[in-house]
């Protein structure tokens, strides 16, 4: 998942402090009591985040499925949602909660409560301890699995909702929360939860849906995305057993002269999926339904590139050049326009230290395919299988573990207008983004039957999602970057802007 946003205070003292820090002293929204409640709850909110990180739900490993759902439900109830229930699916449960404020506008909120797995040996700080660490030049951050993706931003949003309850202030919108525990494996069973009549009825009243996020740049700028690529999580498996050639178990490598090798067969199959440049997709018909970028989308990308810091982005990614040595603008257009075929990892034979002379009986490629409008999930899966079969690789197992089609949201929609109004009101430098290169299951809201505008939104900063030492800033020393309490304030402000935009 996955995505740059800051705030103003509301009480006069906070407004002065905000002005000194570079935040806009604009008209107070949320009201002073809500801001005061957010500030009073800040330390407790950090503790709630640490406790949540200590309870990881890992979808593909059977870790804390029931416990994670129960904890998510309780977090919603503690924040002020009036009802919350765990919805069983064929996989990890989902959570559905509602808050009726008696408002004319309803806002849908999407959470994920699962996280990627982790190897503690790769971390400088234990991944479940959620320690507070100093980040030079940035402030204090929580380090832990799920800190930024997505438990930190979600905790900040729940703290905003709780502040309305604690201060006795009525929310400007009703809330419908749907939370899943399988986002990290492509949300395979989330549609079952969304199909519940009660969920459909509640979301059917919503003006739009959003997922909290924290992706401010180091300079404090924010990019609001007009959609996201779709994704397919898939494993390609070559085995002597399915192939009918090669061993059905690992054997001595000296036999390579007379025994077929399933690992080499997988390599040769994989090599057909991309062009010789190593990254341009070569699946038959893959580009058939790709919608070219519009003139407006290209303009948005150019504006985002002009406002961005290419050197800082390269540094954060640990790269020196873009593919094909393209310039930043050309590469950014490619990033938005191009579907992808990516190898996440290769598993076969012996993978320990040193060598071990074996000929593997099995090889697996863990892959993801990113999709752009107007591609669909079903179309891409069908074309991948047909491509392999046409080249004689029908024995390669194609195991699709999850995924969904791309998401798009109109620039003039309620959600985009509310997001921009919130950011502009707070004096935050912001641009639009034609499309997120990453993915989230927004299409389950933007597509039929709901057809609601959906986006990622929030302030704050973090990094390391899916990687060791994942972090989320809770106390910012940079006046242009939001700490956790400031993030909660901007979420509260966002609720008012959604209500205002929906009333127009």
**Looking at residue 149, what DSSP letter applies?**
I
Rounded Cα distance between 21 and 483, Å, is 12
Angle between helices 32-53 and 152-167 (to 10 degrees): 140
The residue range of the domain holding 357 is 230-290+339-404
Rounded Cα distance between 489 and 156, Å, is 9
Q: Percent of the chain having pLDDT more than 70?
A: 94
Helix residue spans in 320-450 (DSSP H): 328-337, 377-390, 414-425, 443-446
Task: Check whether residue 439 and residue 395 sit in a common domain.
Answer: no
Task: Check whether residue 54 and residue 97 sit in a common domain.
Answer: yes
Q: What is the pLDDT of residue 312?
A: 87
pTM for the full model? Answer: 0.90
Q: Is 226 in contact with 409 (CB distance < 8 Å)? A: yes
Task: Check whether residue 215 and residue 239 sit in a common domain.
Answer: no
Residue 304 in any domain: the answer is no
Q: What is the pLDDT of residue 218?
A: 87
Task: Check whether residue 34 and residue 104 sit in a common domain.
Answer: yes
Task: Check whether residue 257 and residue 347 sit in a common domain.
Answer: yes
Rounded Cα distance between 64 and 259, Å, is 43
Task: Check whether residue 247 and residue 396 sit in a common domain.
Answer: yes
What average pLDDT does the chain have? 93
Strands 106-112 and 206-212: parallel
As given in the structure block, the two tokens for residue 5 are: 């946003």
3-class DSSP state of 300: helix
pLDDT tens digits, 219-254:
899 999 999 999 999 999 999 999 999 999 999 999
Return the number of other C-beta atoms located less than 10 Å from residue 198's C-beta. 12
Task: Check whether residue 352 and residue 418 sit in a common domain.
Answer: no
Residue 24 predicted with pLDDT over 50? no
Residue 376: C-alpha distances to residues 284, 370, 390, 407, 434 (Å): 15, 10, 21, 10, 18
| Listed residues 386, 404, 422: the one ending a domain | 404
Rounded Cα distance between 199 and 209, Å, is 13
The number of residues in the chain equals 504
Residue 324 in any domain: the answer is no
Task: Check whether residue 170 and residue 276 sit in a common domain.
Answer: no
Task: Check whether residue 376 and residue 448 sit in a common domain.
Answer: no
Q: Estimate to the nearest angstrom the gap between the alpha carbon of 418 and the chain centroid.
A: 20
362 beta partners: 239
Task: Check whether residue 136 and residue 41 sit in a common domain.
Answer: yes
pLDDT tens digits, 335-381:
999 999 999 999 999 999 999 999 999 999 999 999 999 999 999 99
Tell me if the bond preceding 449 is cis, omega within 30° of 0: yes
Q: What CATH number does the domain containing 351 carry? A: 3.30.70.360
Q: Name the residue among 106, 309, 87 with its Cα closest to residue 220.
A: 309
As given in the structure block, the two tokens for residue 287 are: 């580009």
As given in the structure block, the two tokens for residue 294 are: 């519009």
What is the 3-state secondary structure of 212-249? Answer: ECCCCCCCCCEEEECEECEEEEEEEEEEHHHHCCCCCC
Virtual torsion, Cα 216, 220, 225, 228, nearest 10 deg = -30
| Listed residues 385, 404, 423: the one ending a domain | 404
Residue 386 in any domain: the answer is yes
Domain count, the chain: 2
Residue 159 in any domain: the answer is yes
| Listed residues 404, 429, 456: the one ending a domain | 404
Residues 6+ apart with CB under 8 A from 464: 147, 148, 470, 471
Task: Check whether residue 446 and residue 477 sit in a common domain.
Answer: yes
Task: Check whether residue 189 and residue 238 sit in a common domain.
Answer: no
């Amino acid at each position: 998942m996955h995505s740059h946003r800051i705030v103003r205070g509301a009480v006069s003292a906070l407004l002065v402090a905000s002005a000194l820090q570079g935040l806009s002293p604009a008209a107070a929204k949320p009201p002073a009591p809500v801001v005061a409640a957010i500030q009073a709850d800040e330390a407790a909110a950090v503790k709630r985040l640490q406790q949540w990180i200590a309870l990881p739900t890992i979808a593909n490993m059977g870790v804390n499925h029931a416990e994670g759902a129960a904890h998510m439900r309780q977090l919603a109830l503690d924040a002020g949602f009036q009802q919350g229930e765990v919805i069983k699916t064929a996989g990890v449960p989902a959570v559905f909660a509602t808050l009726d404020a008696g408002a004319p506008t309803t806002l849908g909120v999407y959470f994920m409560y699962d996280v990627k797995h982790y190897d503690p040996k790769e971390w400088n700080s234990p991944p479940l301890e959620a320690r507070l660490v100093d980040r030079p030049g940035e402030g204090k951050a929580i380090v832990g699995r799920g800190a930024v993706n997505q438990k930190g931003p979600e905790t900040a949003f729940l703290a905003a909702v709780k502040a309305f309850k604690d201060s006795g202030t009525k929310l400007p919108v009703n809330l419908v929360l749907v939370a899943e525990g399988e986002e990290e494996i492509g949300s395979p069973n989330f549609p079952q939860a969304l199909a519940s009549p009660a969920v459909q009825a509640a979301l059917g009243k919503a003006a739009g849906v959003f997922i909290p996020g924290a992706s401010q740049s180091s300079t404090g700028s924010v990019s609001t995305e007009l959609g996201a690529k779709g994704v397919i999580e898939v494993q390609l498996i070559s085995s002597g057993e399915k192939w009918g050639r090669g061993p059905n178990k690992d054997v001595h490598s000296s036999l390579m002269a007379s025994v077929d090798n399933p690992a080499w067969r997988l390599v040769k199959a994989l090599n057909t999926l991309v062009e010789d440049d190593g990254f341009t997709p070569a699946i038959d018909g893959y580009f058939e339904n790709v919608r070219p970028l519009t003139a407006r989308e290209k303009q948005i990308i150019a504006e985002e590139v002009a406002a961005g810091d290419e050197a800082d982005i390269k540094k954060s990614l640990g790269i020196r050049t873009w593919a094909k040595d393209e310039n930043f603008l050309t590469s950014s257009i490619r990033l938005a326009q191009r579907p992808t075929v990516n190898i996440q990892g290769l598993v076969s034979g012996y993978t320990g230290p040193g060598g071990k002379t074996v000929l593997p009986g099995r090889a697996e490629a863990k892959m993801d395919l990113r999709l752009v409008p107007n591609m669909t999930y079903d179309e891409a899966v069908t074309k991948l299988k047909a491509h392999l079969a046409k080249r004689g690789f029908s024995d390669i197992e194609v195991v699709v573990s999850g995924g969904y089609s791309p998401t798009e949201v109109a620039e003039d929609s309620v959600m985009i207008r509310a997001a921009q109004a919130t950011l502009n009101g707070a004096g935050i430098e912001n641009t639009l983004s034609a499309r997120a290169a990453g993915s989230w299951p927004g299409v389950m809201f933007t597509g039929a039957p709901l057809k609601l505008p959906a986006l990622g939104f929030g302030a704050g900063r973090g990094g390391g999602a899916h990687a060791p030492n994942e972090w989320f800033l809770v106390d910012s020393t940079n006046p242009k970057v939001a700490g956790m309490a400031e993030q909660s304030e901007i979420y509260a402000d966002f609720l008012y802007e959604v209500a205002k935009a929906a009333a127009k």
